Amino acid sequence: MVEKRNKQTPRKKQQSVTGRTAISVEMWRYHLMWAVVLLCFIALVGRAFYVQIINKDFLQNKANAKILRTETLKAMRGVIYDRHGVPLAISTPIMKIVIDPRDYFDNKKLFEETTAELAKDPNNRKLKRQLPDKNLSLDELADAVGMDRAELKRKMNERPRSRYLVLKKEVPPQQAELIMKRDFQGVYTEKNYKRYYPQPQPNSQIIGLTNSEGMGIEGLEMQLNERLSGVDGAQQIVRDKKGNRVKDPEIVKEVESGENITLSIDSRLQYIMYRELTAAGVANNARSATAIAVDVKTGEILAMTSWPSYNPNDKKGVLNKDAMRNRGAIDSFEPGSTMKPMTVAMALESGKYTANTVVNTTPGSMRVGNHTIRDTHNYGPLTLGGIIQKSSNVGVAKIALSLPYETLPTFYQRLGFGQRSAVKFPGESAGLILPKSKWNVSEVATMAYGYGLNATVLQLADAYAMIANKGVKMPLSLYKLEEKPKGEQMVDPKIADQVLLMMEAVTLPGGTARQANIPGYRVAGKTGTAHKLRADRKGYSTSEYRALFAGVAPVSDPRLAMIVVVENPTGQYYGGLVAAPVFARVMQESLRLMNVPLDKPLDTPKIQ
């Protein structure tokens, strides 16, 4: 029994060790399994954290690229009004037809693949639901938008992954709506605005025009582009894979419409001025005719236009670049005898002359340097008023040369000649006053009667408005003013009044501009007939002239200053015969429309 026990004891020990080893292995497997599970869990959590937190923008953008489209909402361009609220430039809604080539080709591929699968299993409802239901015919699309079929296919195949291809611009909303009803794949519209000018020719050279993208490229449209343009908005559209909208657009950026601008221009006066310039230009077979009217009390430009002009509503009209120029601001020229009142004002200001001072112009010519200054007649002794009335070159030359040479050009510069006006119109010329080193006897003598310097119509209007406003210069403005600006006293009021009365004699019997008379109104002014420089700039032409008239009315209480310039008239070419009648017709209707009181009897004998 003892031996049996001894033999069995070791056997029991072996079984015990074997049991513990098995349990250890099982526990190790147990822990390993949970470690693997835990690691997988941590990996899943980490991946979820990476996807949803760290890399969420990338994935969101990928998703959005499939279902979201951001569209620009074009801002409406501001309206340009005249001083009475009449629109001169407005924007009308116009549509642009656009296609998404990538969307089109993706859905076309899906259609072809789904159709092939359906051929194998015609009753598969799931495949039928996946089938794109929009119009995939490019031929029908080309016909609808008025494109060549081959050209549309070529453009699409050249840019298969593009998201934006313009099919047609400037489509009327009604026509765009009909196209969209045909439900073409990937086709949508963008709302834009087309600029329209209700009174084109009279105003186009001031207002200018915009390009096909709505950006100002000429005139005030260009100068005020930032103010007129406004700020575009944006909206997001959610679409399904077939291109259908699944909810209403969401505005992500509000549209800010452009600013409305009110000009100083009176469209009634502008029309009258353009009509008369056109008639005069055609009647005299002239190259061009330009005029400007300024309110002398405020400096507001009430009318400024030129013939020939152009129609910015017609794309063919913009081919004539010469007609697009605002000649009143851009062109500079020798103003001729219209500068003589300024020379006389300078003489009175010097203290050496009075209104009754007599200047002997006999024998009607004088030698200065290497050339001769001539009058049309020998006028003999003339007062300062007589010099203006008869337009004596000899008289003003003698006055200018009797004073230090710098007196006259310095006076002109003080009045604003040789520098841009307060208007600052795009491309405006500053004119030209020769530098001080050139102020010699010949230059000063010729400057006295308007040669040897260049001026613009704006500068002349500025100077004549100053004389009419008792010597106070008001800054010229193309914008309607809410309150009267502060002017600058350039000339003594007594001197300005004296010069104004001298200019009135020009329109009376014995003057050079009797055709500038207006029934019921006293008119003051000055004619100008200037020889034009030859093309080679070597001397002056004997066949080309510039006819001018600068005037003010009514003399008793001046309201308007007006300049008329006719370039290259044929036949008669004197300012008093060509430009003065235009002044009279435009000024008469302007004063009537402005309800300016008469300042002389209407029964004035008619001039023969």
- Of all residues in the chain, what percent are helix, strand and coil, respectively (each to 5)? 45, 20, 35
Please give the helix or strand (H or E) that residue 159 lies within, else none.
Answer: none
Q: In angstroms, rounded to a whole number, what is the distance separating the alpha carbons of residues 516 and 549?
A: 9
Reply yes or no: is the peptide bond before residue 200 cis, omega within 30 of 0: no
Q: In angstroms, rounded to a whole number, what is the distance separating the alpha carbons of residues 210 and 194?
A: 9
Query: Residue 100: CA atoms inside 13 Å, Cβ hemisphere, count?
Result: 22
**CA-based nearest residue to 476, from 463, 493, 491:** 463
Give me the torsion for CA of 296, 302, 308, 313, rounded to 10°.
Answer: 160
Length of the chain: 608
Query: Residue 525: CA atoms inside 13 Å, Cβ hemisphere, count?
Result: 35
Query: Nearest 5°: phi and psi at 135?
Result: -75, 120
User: What one-character-per-residue DSSP string does 545-586 give?
Assistant: EEEEEEEEE-TTS--EEEEEEEES-SS---HHHHHHHHHHHH
CA–centroid distance for 606 within its chain:
45
- Antiparallel, parallel or unpaired: β 261-262 and 80-81: parallel
Which residues of 211-333 form beta strands (DSSP E)? 233-238, 250-253, 261-262, 288-295, 301-307
The answer to whether 231 and 75 have CB atoms below 8 angstroms apart is yes
Q: In angstroms, rounded to a whole number, what is the distance separating the alpha carbons of residues 96 and 172?
A: 9
The answer to whether 166 and 190 have CB atoms below 8 angstroms apart is no
Both tokens of 357, joined, read 């001072």
Decide: helix, strand or coil at residue 101. helix
Q: Is 337 a catalytic residue?
A: yes
Both tokens of 147, joined, read 């494109």
Q: In angstroms, rounded to a whole number, what is the distance separating the alpha carbons of residues 197 and 88?
A: 6
Query: Nearest 5°: phi and psi at 81?
Result: -110, 160
Which residues of 134-216 form beta strands (DSSP E)? 165-171, 187-196
| Number of DSSP helices (H) and strands (E) in the chain, helices first | 21, 21
Please calculate the CA angle 113-118-121 and round it to the nearest 5 degrees: 135
Give Cα separations from 217 to 210, 264, 306, 389, 409 (angstroms). Answer: 5, 21, 19, 45, 37
The answer to whether 511 and 505 have CB atoms below 8 angstroms apart is yes
Both tokens of 79, joined, read 């309206």
Both tokens of 264, joined, read 């100083």
Catalytic residue among 267, 306, 332, 337: 337
Please calculate the CA angle 240-142-99 and round it to the nearest 5 degrees: 30
Name the region of 239 (left: φ>0; alpha: ψ -120 to 50; beta: rest). beta
Decide: helix, strand or coil at residue 504. helix
Kindly list the catalytic residues.
Answer: 337
